[in-house]
Amino acid sequence: MSRPKVLTLWLDTWYGTGKGESSDNMIFGHGLFDQLGFEETHIPLEEPIAFPGFGKYDLVFTVPYQKVIDLRAWGPVVAWMCDDVWRYESFGKPWAEVADLIVTTDPASAALYGDKGLLSNWAVRPEWELHARAVPQGLSASFQGQMYGARRDRLAELEQALSVTLLANDTGEEYLSPQRYFEGIAASAFTICLTESSHRTRQMKSRLFEPQLFNSILVTERVLGLEKYWTPGVECIVFDTAEEAARRVQQLAANWPERMAMARRAKARLLEEHTYQNRLSAVLDRLGVSVG
């Protein structure tokens, strides 16, 4: 029996640079749809889109980038949106006119999409654990990401409050490879997440779902909807001020068995509930697309 066919479209390289590997490819590439039972045809959005000429697909899956593309002639279209919390009007809304389902991490946008909206979130792929290493004991903390907006000031406050030098990837315009990104998390007992976007809006970040795979404790600013996925104080640390973050981190760093117990709880829930395999299975269920 033949497998259902999926056409996938996203940027393979880092956004607009033509270098390295994009987070879209890291998340959805490398055999994810094969794991879900599909026969995949992939088109990188860096290239002019020339569609194969053998009929329709059972699913068209895209991670939109800079322009709206009408893909409906090739099958039911799922658009996995990012940053809808600040670009719904300019990008999400026009995409809703040409997609059958819009997946978003923003509750407000999901409601605005109506019947076409599906609230989901970032997640993890268990195979990324190949980057794991033994977490160093003591107070080691890191921030992995780019230093836009007020992030430098926020991290400087945290460094001072923690009395520790943060391992931080100051990427600027540099491409941060998945290997460097995950190895940085895996080398830290605590991983800082700053939820303010480049548009000074709090939003869900992929980093909320990645440290747990490497037994690193998530230490995050508050963001709407977090409690649906993690229980503060049980599976992660949530803070409002640098001083509050420092106090809670230092308490756990001084009690390693308690820190490891939190890490085990978070990892167990991550692998049970928060994988991209689970996220996409819910998308397929919504569309009524069956897979092997």
Q: What is the pLDDT of residues 200-246, one digit of tens each?
A: 888 999 999 999 999 999 999 999 999 999 999 999 999 999 999 99
Residue 11 binned pLDDT confidence (cut-offs 50, 70, 90): very high
Half-sphere exposure of 262 (CA within 13 A, CB side): 24
Strands of the 237-239 sheet, one edge to the other: 167-170, 141-145, 190-193, 217-221, 237-239
Class of domain 5-123+275-287: alpha beta
User: What does the chain come to in residues?
Assistant: 292
Q: How far is CA 15 from the centre of its chain?
A: 15
Domain locations along the chain: 5-123+275-287, 126-273
pLDDT band at residue 265 under the 50/70/90 scheme: very high
The pLDDT confidence band at residue 199, using thresholds 50, 70 and 90, is confident
Mean pLDDT value of segment 67-81: 93
Topology of domain 126-273, CATH: Rossmann fold (3.40.50)
Give the tens place of pLDDT for each residue, 147-175: 777 888 888 999 899 888 777 665 555 66
What confidence category does residue 36 fall into, taking pLDDT thresholds of 50, 70 and 90? very high
Task: Evaluate whether 5-123+275-287 and 126-273 have a shared fold.
Answer: yes
